[in-house]
Amino acid sequence: MGNLEILLQAPIFSVQLLIDGLLVGSIFALAAYGMALLWGVMNIINISQGDYVILGGYVTLTLYNAGIHPLFGVPVAAVVLFIVGWAIYRAVIYRVVDRDLFISILATFGISILLQQLMDQIFGADIQSAESGLGQIFLFDNQVTVSQIKLVALAVVIVVGVALVLFFKKSRMGQAIRATAQNARAARLMGINTDRVYAMTFAMNAALCGAAGALVVMTWVIQPFIGLAYTIRSFMIVVVAGLGNIAGVVAAALGLGAAEQFAAFLLGAEFQIGFVFGLLVVILLVRNMVLKRQRQVLK
Amino acid sequence: MFQYLKPVFVSLSVATLAVSLVGAAQAKVEGDTIILGAALSFTGKYKTNGKHTKNGYELAVRKVNEMGGVKVGDKSYKLKVVYYDDESTPARGAQLAERLIKQDGVQFMLGPYSSGLTKAMAPVTEKYKIPMVEGNGASRSLFNKGYKYLFAVLSTSEQYLAEAINLAAQQAVAAGKDPADLKLALAMENDPFSQDIRAGVLDDAQTHSINVVIDDKLPKELNDMTVTLTKVRALKPDILVVSGHSKGAATAVRQMMEQKVDVPMFAITHCEAADVVGKFGAGAEFTLCATQWAETMTYKDDYFGSASDYAKLFEKEYGYVPPYQAAESSASVLVWVDALQRANSFDNVKLRDALAATDMQTFYGNINFDETGKNIAKPMVLRQVQGGQYKVVAPTKWASDKLIYPRPKWSER
């Protein structure tokens, strides 16, 4: 446990790990919001989630290459992906909404392959990135660096999170989405056009992913075939946080982000992803035990 | 619904039969043309390098044909390559190898792009005893299976960054220090290719008794190296070696720059593929990059002349500077030409033996296969980014420039 010693002797490095973990988690939180939304309202597990993220990255990259500052990519990618999401809903998803979960997994898997190949055709298979030019903040005698673009990501996540909460509480569409999530049939009987609600939900999910993608291309790198990592991460966050709970999604995303940084430092990078999966199993087991106990009380 | 499809199936199978009969009749040599076969990645994630590979093959074929072709017996033959798209998937590669050999009757194979695809195709070529000369499969797992018909012109992956360790040891000795005091940090992607490189680096570290202080295996899904770099900042190693294809290269250079991590020597693979100089400019300065070949090397041959002549011709033809993937592909064709002329025959066993006895210099480097089929005559090259240019700094025999060591600290740049 030589690495633990480093942390004990120089606690400053744990500050670095903690900050970075929280900020990395915030980027994943955006895509995870969307996944929770989709899953909760439409009962669809979207395998193509990560590909919307990457597509959002390419939208931003296109702006960047045209000489526009990539930060504008955040809203632009969201709008473009909103339209793409709407189109995909109209073309494919509306056919699978009320069907078996397996059918929708298969359908979104197909969309994922299609998007990957299209991106490969249009943008090429090379690794690409955009420079935000925002730089770093150096703290504690340069021992801790905080990338400003990651701070921007955190700000975007908070703003979008608050906006979503307000949207669901105040707007008619938001209320319709919540009603549909609770009971689609009853919502239809009350005169809600659930087809429109579904289209809106799907498009909003894609828009969230698009914004996340814009942040990803400025923070890391993109390539047409690395979307799956983002799908899996969103899935995991949603499983931990549960559906319909935006604050929970943010907390889970940040918590997992920080946990994996410490795991990677202490155990070695090869256990970074494995540790998160292990943690997932533990969380599910514990949650199951807690729920069981509650059920017994209710009896 | 299947009964309606029956006539379709029947006609399809008749068609397939017809094709295979025609294919069998169409042999490896048509008139005065020798047909080589290759499955390359024209689509999918390897398509950029698939294109480099094809351009390499095509340029060599054209050059050889222009210069009178290949002399076998008393006759001169032209070369031609049959290509298929393996879609960057190994399973497809294996199918296509089968198809090239069984249906198209190809007897002379050129390699695909990447170790993964080569690994999928080698068992097939081996089964049919069809020699394959390849320039883009470097994994050492290709050369411990006892394959007899596989020949690789490139340096295998465990050699990629080993030279960096020797270089650091030399520098330590030159500065009057003991190499055993050096501290080494490794961050290698957890895939066969990078782990091969890691094994090679560790071997060399052991020879010099260098202390390994960080040995991270980066998961494939990962695109953030902050944790490893935090460790680097804590433990202050003298050498940091990173490998993880283009993604690893871009991530490492970018985050080293962003987080201003200082380390005296920083060596990676895939600089050119990730275009670290174009993307990160001054941030890429002083990075050591492993490469199979550089156009400033002094090797030469009768077809292309020197390495720089090759580079000029390639750039004129295709509009970009040849990456080493193209150069080693061209060299593979030259190896075939040499073997065909020495064997003076189209017999696959005689050709195999001729290939095994290859001992030649090409613009790409010396080529001499050991009994496992890998080229042992060509060392890997290390280039350092100096003033936005890649300058050869090792091995010292071929070096055009001097290594800048240690890397200047970020605060002093």
Nearest to B216 among A228, A229, A268 (CB): A268
Indicate the pLDDT class of residue B125, thresholds 50, 70 and 90: very high
Cross-chain Cβ contact A145/B259 below 8 Å = yes
**CATH 3.40.50.2300 occupies which residues in chain B?**
21-155+297-368, 159-291+380-412
Q: Which of A20, A151, A220, A226 best tests the B interface by mutation, with the highest count of B CBs <10 A?
A: A220
Q: In chain B, whose CA is at the least distance from the CA of A136?
A: B258
Residues of A in contact with B273 (CB under 8 A): 126
**In the block, residue with structure tokens 């992607």:** B189
Residues of A in contact with B44 (CB under 8 A): 117, 120, 125
Q: How far does the CA of residue B187 sit from the closest CA of chain A (Å)? A: 8
pLDDT in tens, A178-210: 999 999 999 999 999 999 999 999 999 999 999
Using the Cβ of A125 and the Cβ atoms of chain B, whether some distance falls under 8 Å is answered with yes
Output the pLDDT for position B10: 54
* Contact in structure between A253 and A230 (CB atoms under 8 Å): no
**Does residue B287 sit in helix, strand or coil?**
coil
Residues 6+ apart with CB under 8 A from B404: B286, B384, B386
Nearest to B91 by CA among B56, B55, B121, B136: B121
A106: exposed, middle or buried (Cβ count in 10 Å: 0-12, 13-18, 19+): middle
Q: Domain A2-298 adopts which CATH fold?
A: ABC transporter involved in vitamin B12 uptake, BtuC (1.10.3470)
Q: How far does the CA of residue B218 sit from the closest CA of chain A (Å)? A: 5
pLDDT surpassing 90 at residue A135: no
Q: How far does the CA of residue B170 sit from the closest CA of chain A (Å)? A: 29
Output the pLDDT for position A84: 96
pLDDT surpassing 80 at residue A161: yes
* Contact in structure between B304 and B325 (CB atoms under 8 Å): no
Rounded average pLDDT over B382-393 = 92
**Angle subtended by helix axes A12-42 and A49-65, to nearest 10:** 110
pLDDT in tens, A226-271: 898 899 889 989 988 887 778 889 999 999 889 888 888 888 888 8
Residues of B in contact with A6 (CB under 8 A): 231, 234-235
Q: Domain B21-155+297-368 adopts which CATH fold?
A: Rossmann fold (3.40.50)
Nearest to B79 by CA among B133, B128, B124: B133
* Contact in structure between B155 and B380 (CB atoms under 8 Å): yes
Using the Cβ of B104 and the Cβ atoms of chain A, whether some distance falls under 8 Å is answered with no
Residues of A in contact with B50 (CB under 8 A): none
Q: Which of B186, B188, B212, B230 best tests the A interface by mutation, with the highest count of A CBs <10 A?
A: B230
Q: Which of A139, A216, A221 best tests the B interface by mutation, with the highest count of B CBs <10 A?
A: A221
Cross-chain Cβ contact B259/A136 below 8 Å = yes
Q: How far does the CA of residue B323 sit from the closest CA of chain A (Å)? A: 14
What DSSP assignment string belongs to B137-158? ---GGGGSS--SSEEE-SPPGG
Using the Cβ of B258 and the Cβ atoms of chain A, whether some distance falls under 8 Å is answered with yes
pLDDT in tens, B10-65: 555 555 544 444 444 345 788 899 999 999 999 888 888 899 999 999 999 999 99
Nearest to A120 among B44, B216, B224 (CB): B44
Output the pLDDT for position B27: 52
B297: exposed, middle or buried (Cβ count in 10 Å: 0-12, 13-18, 19+): buried
Output the pLDDT for position B23: 43
* pTM value > 0.90: no
Q: Which H or E run includes B382? A: strand B381-386
Nearest to B93 by CA among B108, B106, B83, B80: B83
* Contact in structure between A259 and A240 (CB atoms under 8 Å): no
* Contact in structure between A73 and A214 (CB atoms under 8 Å): yes
Q: How far does the CA of residue A145 sit from the closest CA of chain B (Å)? A: 6
Count the neighbouring beta carbons within 10 Å of the beta carbon of residue B143.
20
Tokens of B142: 């290709």
Output the pLDDT for position A288: 84
pLDDT surpassing 60 at residue A299: no
Q: Which of A15, A117, A118, A127 best tests the B interface by mutation, with the highest count of B CBs <10 A?
A: A127
Residues of B in contact with A24 (CB under 8 A): 224, 226
For the domain spanning B159-291+380-412, the CATH number is: 3.40.50.2300
Cross-chain Cβ contact B273/A13 below 8 Å = no
Cross-chain Cβ contact B221/A16 below 8 Å = no
Q: How far does the CA of residue A76 sit from the closest CA of chain B (Å)? A: 23
Rounded average pLDDT over B297-302 = 89
Cross-chain Cβ contact A220/B217 below 8 Å = no
Output the pLDDT for position B5: 56
pLDDT surpassing 90 at residue B338: yes
Across all residues in chain A, what is the average pLDDT? 88
Tell me, what's the ipTM? 0.80
Chain A contacts in chain B segment 218-237 (CB below 8 A):
218-219, 221-224, 226-228, 230-231, 233-235
